[in-house]
């Protein structure tokens, strides 16, 4: 790679190559029956790693498993399960 | 590989923020509200460090980090350059944490506001110097544990009230000052849009919980930020050209203990101490016309 | 066109001729007139620029950083306490590789408080990564400031133009002011290498992790080394266009001298006069006036001083616990040279103390004695010191 004078980074958003999904200890599972597509989960996701939709779609590449979405979903459509379990 | 799950997300995921971080959420919401025609001047702090470890950056907008105490001054310089070069339609935005605003950053911010510079200043308030390990700032609320206000035999937590930054900025005569909470994202984004449209110094102060600093579970960030508002601990308002407008009045104000008991940083509080805090909150609510 | 100008006025007019776009500076004696003059130019519409009424020097340079990063040609000025107050920012500006130009009216550092001339302030920040150029007179201030923008922008390095507080800043001298159109030809508009622009977003000032920090700093050092050549080139071009050249250093009757004095700034003028008197008497004494302190022109100094028997460094600063900064760097330059000249360091003129003819002659005598005896009994001395007050015999 070529270093830039003053350490300027010219590729916007190149941090996206870090798949922070590897951080997870718990993963969110969407219950497609309960999900109404309200988008609240997507609004509150810090990463962002969950798309608004019916049903909402988790981007497991980046989801860190914080559980905010599960905690906030008004329809209790999201459950956090230990990573590695189905 | 999908490196743009949110095609319009101006902060790319893959950053190093803690799981459940309230501040990075505030950043994402802010950029959603403001759009791509901004230049961000950011202070040293959590947000700067987790988003830009060379050679990686999460930012999809022009962004500069300079030092800890001068986000406002740098943003003023950006604004002056844009003006001098006749570049229109780009907003200079300064972003700093509570430390970089209330304490070390107060002088620069005061200068920017006093000069009437065209800068939107966003303070993300996690109520301590979280990036360096949870040391107190003047924005740390009364009674809170931090690593420099520990619970000991002689002293028990923060013994000073939270510095009222919005009031200080309003007293400068800034055309627009507002408070916000990440639990009320639409309110936050509306306030940012309003502030950005004003030519002059505007200030938005967003309460954004820190999960390790506040000693809360990762998943409780929003719940806690909401309770801050529902208990009157943190009030959502705006001051437009000196006129106060409370943008959300909790319908039935909950006791402050509901908020405090959710957080490990307050778990040492005795009933007497909680009563004291309740009185402080009651006085504050009275001032804002909240029952 | 020739005008009687103080050093401060010369600096301000040079910045105006350079068509700076953003001025961000905080007043401090003895630089205040630079800031005042520029605010007058802007207020009168003579200079189309944003004049920022910053609330401190730290914010002054911070605003310059923001402005330069956003693509504007920027200028600031300070002195003494202001310079060290913004010290954090000096390192950042150079680390970010921004071509900011600053006028520094050299003034002593507190404590105790002293508003008069010495070079302690700029010497205190010699490590900060800024090019440091020293001026002997107000013409040189005018010319150097204009050249500074060319040098800064072509290297992406900030430049500090230093001149003695009060002695030059407040003294009027005849200065040939270049014509605007000539300066425009010499100095094209600023074209930044990187710029903050939503059309092409970049991230500036990331966290420089250990994997890359050393390399990034090495690049900075390489840029400083390249600066030497660039300074000479720009100076030559300036000379061709405006008829005045300065180079990295000036050799004044030094090529055949056994005893050579080494100075920076206005003191050079005083020493030149003493050198003239010695030469009238047929005594081989010379002066090397150093203009560029950073980058430090090692080869050029070895070339200029190598033949001498003794070099007397006269400088208005001291690195406490060691010696004067100019002496230290000069001595280090010769460390691997065979048969280097003997070197003596004379700390003088601190806190606005006048450096008198008698003192300069004292230094020459001491150097001559060393040259004759072949040894230096005491390398670091003070000139013009009232020994009785201190209880010392220097």
pLDDT digits (tens, 9 = 90+) for B172-199: 999 999 999 999 999 999 999 999 999 9
Structural domain count of chain B: 1
pLDDT in tens, A39-85: 999 999 999 999 999 999 999 999 999 999 999 999 999 999 999 76
Q: Which of A5, A12, A13, A14 to mutate to test the interface with C (most CBs of C within 10 A)?
A: A5
Mean pLDDT throughout C348-373? Answer: 97
- How distant is the Cα of B262 from the closest Cα of chain C, in angstroms? 34
pLDDT at position C47: 97
Q: Which of B12, B17, B185 sits opposite A16 (nearest CB)?
A: B12
Domain hosting B30: range is 22-287
Work out the average pLDDT over B220-230.
98
Q: Which of C201, C208, C223 sits opposite A7 (nearest CB)?
A: C208
Is B7 near chain A, with CB under 8 Å? no
Give percent above pLDDT 70 in chain C.
99
B55/A14 Cβ within 8 A: yes
Asked if the model's pLDDT at residue C382 lies above 90, the reply is yes
Does residue B122 surpass a pLDDT of 50? yes
Residues of A with CB under 8 A from a CB of C: 3-10, 12
Selected residue of C62, C64, C72, C195 to mutate for chain B interface (largest B Cβ count, 10 A): C62
Which residues on B lie below 8 Å from C63 (Cβ)?
73-74, 76-77, 80
B83 contacts C50? CB cut-off 8 A = yes
What number is the average pLDDT over the span C353-370?
A: 97
Q: What is the pLDDT of residue A86?
A: 55
Please judge whether B70 and C69 are an interchain contact, meaning their C-beta atoms are less than 8 angstroms apart: no
B2-11, C9-18, C361-370, range with the lowest pLDDT: B2-11
Which residues in C lie closer than 8 A to residue B41 (C-beta atoms)? 66
Chain B partners within 8 Å of C24 (Cβ): 77, 80
Indicate the residue of A5, A10, A12 with minimum beta-carbon distance to C219.
Answer: A5
Give the best residue of A5, A16, A18, A52 to mutate against chain B (max B CB count within 10 A): A16
Is the pLDDT at B8 greater than 80? The verdict is no
pLDDT at site B5: 42
Query: A10, A24, A17: which is closest to A67 by C-alpha?
Result: A24
* Cβ-Cβ contacts under 8 Å, B217 against chain A: 67
Q: What integer best gives the mean pLDDT of chain B? A: 96
- Picking from A3, A8, A12, the nearest residue to C204 by CB comes out as A8
Interface contact C152, partner B, CB < 8 A = no
Residues of B in contact with C55 (CB under 8 A): 107-108, 110-111, 114
Is residue B254 assigned to a domain? yes
Class of domain C249-390: alpha beta
Residue pairs spanning A and B at CB distance below 8 A: 118
SS (H, E, C) chain C: CEEEECHHHHHHHHHHHCCCCEEECCCCCCCHHHHHHHHHHHHCCCCCCEEECCCCHHHHHHHHHHHHHCCCCEEEEECHHHHHHCHHHHHHHHHCCCCCEEEEEECCCCCCCCCCCCCHHHHHCCCCCCEEEECCCHHHHHHHHHHHHHHHHHHCCCEEEEEECCCCCCCCEEEECCCHHHHHHHCCCCCCCCCCCCCCCCEECCECCHHHHHHHHHHHHHHHHHHHHHHHHHHHHHHHHHCCCCCCEEEECCCCCCEEEEECCCHHHHHHHHHHHHHHCCCCEEEEEECEEECCCHHHHHHHHCCCCEEEEEECCCCCCCCCHHHHHHHHHCCCCCCCCEEEEEECCHHHCCCCHHHHHHHHHHHHHHHHHCCCCCCEEECCCCHHHHCCCC
Chains B, C: CB pairs < 8 Å: 164
Residue A54 C-alpha, separation from nearest chain B C-alpha, in angstroms: 16
Delimit the domains of chain C by residue range. 2-242, 249-390
Mean pLDDT, residues C321-327 taken together:
98
pLDDT value, residue C392: 80
CATH number of C2-242: 3.40.50.970
Q: What integer is the mean pLDDT of B92-104?
A: 97
Of A14, A15, A62, the CB nearest to B5: A62
Rounded CA separation C376/C345 (Å) = 11
pLDDT tens, position by position, C284-313: 999 999 999 999 999 999 999 999 999 999
User: Which among B3, B7, B18, B19 is the top mutation candidate for probing chain A, defined by the most A β-carbons within 10 Å of its own β-carbon?
Assistant: B19
For residue A27, the SS3 value is strand
Across the interface, do B78 and C70 touch by the CB < 8 Å criterion?
A: yes
Domains and CATH numbers, chain A: 21-82 (3.30.70.20)
pLDDT band at C394 (very low <50, low <70, confident <90, very high): low
Does C189 contact chain B (CB < 8 Å)?
no
For A28, A37, A45, C31, C257, the CA distances from A70, given in Å and listed in that order, are 7, 14, 10, 61, 85
Q: Is A5 within 8 Å of C201 when comparing Cβ atoms?
A: no
| Cβ–Cβ below 8 Å for A45 and B25 | yes
Domain contains B269: yes
Percent of chain B with pLDDT over 90: 97
Q: Do A41 and A50 meet the contact criterion of CB atoms below 8 Å apart? A: yes
Predicted pLDDT at A84 = 79
Q: Residue B2 pLDDT > 70, yes or no?
A: no
Same fold, C2-242 and C249-390: yes
Interface test with B, best of C18, C21, C59, C92 (most B CBs within 10 A): C59
> Which token pair is C127?
């490590």
pTM over 0.80: yes
CATH of residue B214: 3.40.50.970
Percent of all residues in chain B with a pLDDT value above 70, rounded to a whole number = 97
B36 touches chain A (CB under 8 A): no
Residue B73, pLDDT above cutoff 70: yes
Q: B75 pLDDT exceeds 80?
A: yes
The answer to whether the CB atoms of A3 and C216 lie below 8 A apart is yes
Half-sphere exposure of C206 (CA within 13 A, CB side): 33
Rounded to an integer, the average pLDDT of C251-256 is 98
Q: Does C72 touch chain B (CB under 8 A)?
A: yes
- Average of per-residue pLDDT across B70-92: 98
Of B14, B28, B217, the CB nearest to A62: B14
Chain A partners of B59 at a C-beta cutoff of 8 Å? Answer: 12-13
Q: Cβ contact (<8 Å) for A5 and C205? A: no
Would residue B14 count as lying in a domain?
no
Query: Residue B2: inside a domain, yes or no?
Result: no
- Tokens at B130, concatenated: 């979280």
């Amino acid at each position: 790679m070529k270093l830039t004078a003053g350490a300027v980074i010219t590729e916007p958003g190149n941090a996206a190559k870090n798949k922070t999904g590897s951080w997870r200890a718990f993963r969110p599972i969407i219950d497609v029956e309960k999900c109404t597509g309200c988008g609240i989960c997507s609004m509150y996701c810090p990463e962002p790693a969950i798309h608004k939709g019916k049903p909402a779609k988790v981007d497991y590449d980046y989801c860190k498993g914080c559980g905010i979405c599960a905690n906030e979903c008004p329809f209790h459509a999201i459950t956090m399960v230990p990573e590695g379990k189905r | 590989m999908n490196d743009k799950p949110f095609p319009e997300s101006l902060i790319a995921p893959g950053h190093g923020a803690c799981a459940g971080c309230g501040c990075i959420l505030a950043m994402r919401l802010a950029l959603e509200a403001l759009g791509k025609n901004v230049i961000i001047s950011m202070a040293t702090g959590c947000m700067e460090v987790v988003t830009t470890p060379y050679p990686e950056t999460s930012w999809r907008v022009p962004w500069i980090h300079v030092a800890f105490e001068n986000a406002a001054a740098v943003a003023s310089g950006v604004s002056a350059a844009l003006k001098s070069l006749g570049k229109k339609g780009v907003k200079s935005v300064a972003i700093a944490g509570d430390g970089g605003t209330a304490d070390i950053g107060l002088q620069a911010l005061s200068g920017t506001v006093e000069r009437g510079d065209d800068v939107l200043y966003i303070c993300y308030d996690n109520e301590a110097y979280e990036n360096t390990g949870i040391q107190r700032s003047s924005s740390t609320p009364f009674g809170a544990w931090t690593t420099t206000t520990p619970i000991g035999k002689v002293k028990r937590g923060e013994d000073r009230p939270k510095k009222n930054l919005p009031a200080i900025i309003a007293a400068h005569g800034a055309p627009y000052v507002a408070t916000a909470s990440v639990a009320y994202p639409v309110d936050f984004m509306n306030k940012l849009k309003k502030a950005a449209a004003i030519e002059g110094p505007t200030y938005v102060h967003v309460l954004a919980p820190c999960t390790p600093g506040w000693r809360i579970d990762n998943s409780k960030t929003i719940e806690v930020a909401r309770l801050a508002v529902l208990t009157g601990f943190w009030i959502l308002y705006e001051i437009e050209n000196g006129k106060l407008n409370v943008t959300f009045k909790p319908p039935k104000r909950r006791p402050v203990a509901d908020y405090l008991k959710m957080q490990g940083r307050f778990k040492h509080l005795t009933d007497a101490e909680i009563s004291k805090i309740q009185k402080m909150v009651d006085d504050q609510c009275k001032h804002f016309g909240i029952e | 066109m020739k005008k009687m100008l103080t050093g401060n006025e010369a600096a301000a007019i040079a910045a105006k001729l350079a068509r700076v776009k953003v001025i961000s500076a905080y007043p401090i004696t003895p630089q205040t007139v630079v800031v005042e003059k520029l605010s007058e130019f802007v207020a009168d519409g003579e200079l189309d620029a944003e004049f920022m009424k910053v609330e401190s020097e730290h914010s002054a340079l911070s605003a310059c950083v923001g402005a330069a990063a956003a693509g504007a040609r920027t200028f600031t000025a300070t002195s003494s306490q202001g310079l060290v107050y913004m010290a954090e920012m000096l390192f950042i500006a150079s680390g970010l590789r921004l071509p900011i130009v600053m006028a520094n009216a050299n003034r002593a550092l507190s404590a105790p408080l002293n508003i008069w001339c010495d070079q302690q302030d700029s010497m205190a920040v010699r490590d900060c990564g800024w090019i440091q150029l020293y001026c002997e007179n107000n013409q040189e201030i005018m010319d150097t400031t204009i050249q500074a923008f060319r040098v800064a922008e072509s290297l992406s390095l900030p430049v500090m133009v230093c001149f003695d507080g009060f002695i030059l800043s407040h003294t009027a001298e005849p200065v040939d002011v270049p014509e605007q159109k000539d300066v425009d030809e010499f100095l094209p508009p600023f074209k930044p290498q990187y710029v903050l622009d939503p059309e092409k977003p970049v991230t500036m000032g990331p966290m420089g992790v250990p994997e890359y920090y050393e390399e990034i700093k090495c690049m900075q050092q390489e840029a400083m080394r390249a600066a030497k050549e660039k300074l000479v080139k720009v100076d030559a071009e300036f000379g061709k266009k405006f008829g005045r050249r300065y180079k990295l250093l000036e050799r004044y009757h030094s090529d055949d001298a056994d005893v050579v004095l080494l100075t920076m700034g206005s003191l050079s003028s005083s020493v030149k006069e003493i050198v003239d008197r010695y030469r009238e008497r047929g005594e081989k004494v010379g002066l090397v006036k150093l203009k560029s302190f950073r980058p430090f022109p090692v080869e050029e100094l070895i070339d200029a001083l190598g033949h001498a028997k003794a070099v007397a460094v006269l400088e208005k600063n001291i690195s406490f616990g060691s010696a004067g900064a100019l002496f230290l760097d000069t001595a280090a330059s010769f460390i691997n040279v065979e048969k280097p000249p003997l070197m003596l360091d004379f700390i003088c003129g601190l806190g606005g103390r006048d450096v008198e003819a008698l003192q300069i002659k004292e230094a020459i005598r001491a150097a001559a004695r060393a040259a004759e005896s072949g040894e230096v009994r005491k390398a670091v001395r003070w000139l013009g010191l009232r020994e009785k007050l201190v209880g010392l015999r220097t």
